[in-house]
Structure 1
Amino acid sequence: MVNRGLISISILYALIFSFGSSKAQMVPAVYVFGDSLVDVGNNNYLPLSVAKANHRHYGIDFPTHKPTGRFSNGKNAADLVAEKLGLATSPPYLSLKSKTNKNNASFMDGVSFASSGAGIFDGRDERYGQSIPLTKQVDYYSIVHEEMIREVGAADLQNHLSKSIFVLVIGSNDLFGYFESSDLRKKNTPQQYVDSMAFSLKVQLQRLYDQGARKFEIAGVGTLGCVPVYRLKNKTECVEEVNYWSKKYNEGLRSMLKEWQSENGSIIYSYFDTYAAINDIIQSPPSYGFTEVKGACCGVGELNARATCLPLSNLCPNRQDHLFFDQFHPTEAASRILVDRLFNGSSSYTSPINMRQLIHA
């Protein structure tokens, strides 16, 4: 079963590329780093990982109507950013390195290193069995960087990378891990922990900068205390402590980015306030076309949040009505709204510029 599934992934990606946007290509490539919010299939190549969206009902609204490794009913944020930029979705790094891949795709076209369950911090993820933490994702990028130098030469590569977009969507799993670990909470105050998250992220951003990256799209964490699995623990209400420290991390992230830019004058970045964008939906669902912002579309029990989305789980008939598809992840409809804000958003969602401005900066 596993081998057949892996082989089908390569076929699926060939199909995905055929759904390319009709928009003019706006940047040379997109390089994606992060977690399940932007993973487009890397975890399907991790034999020990249980964080795999490789079964129904995931992908039910995807163009192929099949699971692809995305934790969504359809496309996720990585796909939708690519659409905005007139590009095909950057393929999973592990699919390009897989023995089943016969396409010899060029890394120059963009790559996704994102992995479900990944965090800023290193270490094996005890909840999900196996993921690719950010440090390892950047390690993989270093390998890709060397291969691209051999392909086109250092000067041409630097020109290519300086115009490409580096997307980072990560941090949620670190905060989930902190609030679910008595050991971590004994060792660190919440402030110490979120400060160390921002510092560790800065180290990895610098590694990317040192290897050619210049334009960065960096997302803060969302309203983590309002995901269905946390509402289930709190009588359907958001867990305010988790939301508070999500906001505090985002504040530290914004401060770190300003400091980092001042230390490296050629960095251009756009920060997206995921928290504000999701909170607006939660506060006024009808304004965004939603009728359900507490429960999951796919799951089991109260709020469909007592178990993750599995083949025998309940599935809502209209995914467009729901903010969340499963215990943690947004529907494609919600992701489209978030990416619209990320791309064209005002200063209430993006700073110091939005992605559209980042492209032309």
Structure 2
Amino acid sequence: MGKSSVRFFLFPCFFFFIILNSLEAQNDAPQHQAVYVFGDSLVDVGNNNYLSLSVEKAVLPHYGIDYPTKKPNGRFSNGKNAADFIAEKMGVPTSPPYLSLVSKFNKKNVSFLDGVSFASGGAGIFTDKTGLSSRQNIALPNQVDYYIKVYGELSQQIGAPALQTHLSKSIFVLVIGSNDLFGYFNSKDLQNKTTPQQYVDSMASSLKVQLQRLYDHGARKFEISGIGAIGCCPSNRLKNKTECFSEANYWAVKYNEVLKTMMKNWQWEKKDITYSYFDAYAAMQDLLQTPTSYGFTEIKAACCGIGNLNAELPCLPISVVCSNRQDHVFWDPVHPTEAATRIFVDRLFDGPSRYTSPITMRQLVAA
């Protein structure tokens, strides 16, 4: 009788202990959607600042001139960039740079559960074909490596079930590919080795590999951006007497077509993913073709730079910065102004359908 009583009381206590631990694990999981950002300088919020050998850092005067702090902060813009505006749309803080969270100088308690940015200025889909890695950027495969490391740490912290629930609701933003095309058209060696069609096909298939790696580690909701009209950047206009470099634009469109097809097929393979594709090319072309309807008067020259179209040299401390930054589409030889970026993110988040498919980002967030 005594032994039975002991068993009877031990069992409820043990059961209560399990429930308590389970509730604690659930409480560790965040109650909001996080944003995990991958990509290039269009969404980098400061990772490159932590790469000691990188020459691509937005740390010089003039960068950040319209940011709340009025100081350079690692964003390749006069103010906020696409990552900031996406976070604002979602009502969450901008995801911090991964390298700032793991920096030996960071003494604060940080949580990867609140979202992280792995984006790096100058990064591409490839690590070797464009030579991007030699310039000390974090190429997309390496960004995903960092994410997988974060996934492992989070799994230990809150357990696999709670983590999967969190990640399945989170948004994975990818803005990448422009630098790969820049690299192709600036490399005779690449052009001799592969045709443009083979190259863009390889870009899309390589991107799918990285998407699959994210999927294998919990990602289910993807915001994917196509490549914009990069031939119309001030630096590329110099190749064609101030007019858009049509060949770069043509292959940006071709890549976007391959990317859209790949995403449709991938969703058919993976029934549990949801994605929104943003046609950055269409959005940018509309802005360039009817600039005054958006409040712009200068679509060719950069606001900050040196030489013809302010595009022969980058935005340097000796550059004269335009005073009418709201009127310019381009901030420096390759990056849009804060004003232009805000319009792009408005289109990305809410459409209309000629810019986003099969759903808008707003619908993706709500899904």
TM norm structure 1: 0.92
Residues 1:161 and 2:167 are matched in the alignment:
yes
After superposition, what is the alpha-carbon deviation per residue over 1:197-243, rounded to whole angstroms, capped at 9, x for unaligned?
A: 00000000000011000000000000010000011121110011110
Distance 2:125 2:245 in 1: 23
C-alpha displacement of 1:84: 0.3
C-alpha displacement of 1:75: 0.3
SS in structure 2 opposite 1:315? coil
> Does structure 2 retain, via aligned residues, the 8 Å contact 1:227–1:327?
yes
SS in structure 2 opposite 1:317? coil
Distance 1:42 1:242 in 2: 28
Task: Give the equivalent residue in structure 2 for 1:101.
Answer: 106
Counterpart of 1:68, as a letter, is: N
Distance 1:28 1:262 in 2: 25
Counterpart of 1:352, as a letter, is: P
Counterpart of 1:135, as a letter, is: P
Structure 1: give runs of 5+ residues left out of the alignment: 1-24
Identity of aligned residues (%): 69
> Does structure 2 retain, via aligned residues, the 8 Å contact 1:27–1:359?
no
SS in structure 1 opposite 2:353? coil
Distance 1:232 1:107 in 2: 42
Please list, as runs of the form range in 1=range in 2, the aligned pairs for 1:21-170 lying within 5 A after superposition: 27-123=32-128, 125=131, 129-170=135-176
Counterpart of 1:153, as a letter, is: G
- Number of positions where the alignment pairs a residue of Structure 1 with one of Structure 2: 337
Task: Give the equivalent residue in structure 2 for 1:202.
Answer: 208
Q: 1:121 to 1:212 in 2, by over 3 A?
A: same
Task: Give the equivalent residue in structure 2 for 1:20.
Answer: none
Distance 1:48 1:68 in 2: 17
After superposition, what is the alpha-carbon deviation per residue over 1:30-68, rounded to whole angstroms, capped at 9, x for unaligned?
A: 000000000000000001110000111100000000000
Counterpart of 1:94, as a letter, is: L
**Partner residue of 1:193 out of 180, 184, 199:** 199
After superposition, what is the alpha-carbon deviation per residue over 1:72-130, rounded to whole angstroms, capped at 9, x for unaligned?
A: 00000000000000011000000001011111210000000000010000138459721
C-alpha displacement of 1:27: 4.6
**Partner residue of 1:337 out of 343, 346, 367:** 343
**Partner residue of 1:359 out of 352, 355, 365:** 365
Q: 1:359 to 1:229 in 2, by over 3 A?
A: same
C-alpha displacement of 1:279: 0.3
SS in structure 2 opposite 1:298? coil
Q: 1:281 to 1:27 in 2, by over 3 A?
A: farther
TM norm structure 2: 0.90
Q: 1:126 to 1:138 in 2, by over 3 A?
A: closer
Residues 1:296 and 2:302 are matched in the alignment:
yes
- Cα RMSD (Å) of the superposition? 1.3
C-alpha displacement of 1:251: 0.2
Distance 1:324 1:127 in 2: 26
Counterpart of 2:160, as a letter, is: A
Q: 1:59 to 1:128 in 2, by over 3 A?
A: farther
**Partner residue of 1:323 out of 318, 329, 335:** 329
After superposition, what is the alpha-carbon deviation per residue over 1:306-327, rounded to whole angstroms, capped at 9, x for unaligned?
A: 1000111121001100000000
> Does structure 1 retain, via aligned residues, the 8 Å contact 2:43–2:175?
yes
C-alpha displacement of 1:347: 1.1
Counterpart of 1:272, as a letter, is: F
Task: Give the equivalent residue in structure 2 for 1:16.
Answer: none
Distance 2:133 2:61 in 1: 21
SS in structure 1 opposite 2:36? strand
Distance 1:128 1:63 in 2: 33
Structure 2: give runs of 5+ residues left out of the alignment: 1-29
After superposition, what is the alpha-carbon deviation per residue over 1:283-318, rounded to whole angstroms, capped at 9, x for unaligned?
A: 001000000011100000111001000111121001
After superposition, what is the alpha-carbon deviation per residue over 1:227-263, rounded to whole angstroms, capped at 9, x for unaligned?
A: 0001112111001111000000000000000011111
